[in-house]
Amino acid sequence: MKKTFLLVTIMLWGALSTMNAQSFSGLQKSPTDISYAKKERNSKPEIKVIYSRPQKKGRKIFGSLAAYDKVWRTGADEATEIKFLQDVKMGDKSIKAGTYSLFTIPGEKEWTIIINSDLDSWGAYNYDKAKDIARIKAKVKSGDELEVFSIAFKQVDKGYHMVMGWDTTRVEVPFYLL
């Protein structure tokens, strides 16, 4: 009787484990992350970026997966979203506080960084240049290999530099607080 009970318990546990695994089959392959630009660890952010983090997985990234000279969603899944909690300047363009999409056009030597007013779009499939708020060119630099696309901020005088990196490519974008 004890052996039968134990066998039934093990079988039931196995069936429930399989059911749980199957109920989570739609999880993102490129998890969503948030990067903050803030003065101190416990202070409120001044810039917030929400993006999905694709993985390299042995693939050629720039010039292939993220094509050169074509608009890229800057990550995976939905277009990357950037929120400025106060007015900023990117290059010679002033940008009002608010939430925008962040697109890029990767190139071998420089990228075009685009702040666009269209929100909640899947990828860059419906990108509309007419909704661009600001554009800036940024030089490509090299760094250690990153398996997962990443965005981070570093504080500089009067603002932040947003650093984007994947594989051995790094691009730094200046944002100055107004």
> What are the residue boundaries of the structural domains of the chain, listed by start?
27-177
Angstrom CA distances, 108 to 2, 63, 90, 132, stand at 68, 8, 22, 23
pLDDT at residue 175, rounded to an integer: 97
Query: Which band of pLDDT confidence, cut at 50, 70 and 90, is reported for residue 12?
Result: low
Beta bridge partners of 156: 159
pLDDT tens digit string along 70-91? 999 999 999 999 999 999 999 8
- Per-residue tokens: 20: 């749980």
Secondary structure letter of residue 45 according to DSSP: P
Average pLDDT over residues 18-42: 78
pLDDT tens digit string along 101-132? 999 999 999 999 999 999 988 888 899 999 99
25-42 as b/e, with b when 16 or more CB fall inside 10 Å? eeeeeeeeeebbbbeeee
Average pLDDT over residues 162-169: 96
pLDDT at residue 2, rounded to an integer: 60
CB 54 within 8 A of CB 148: yes
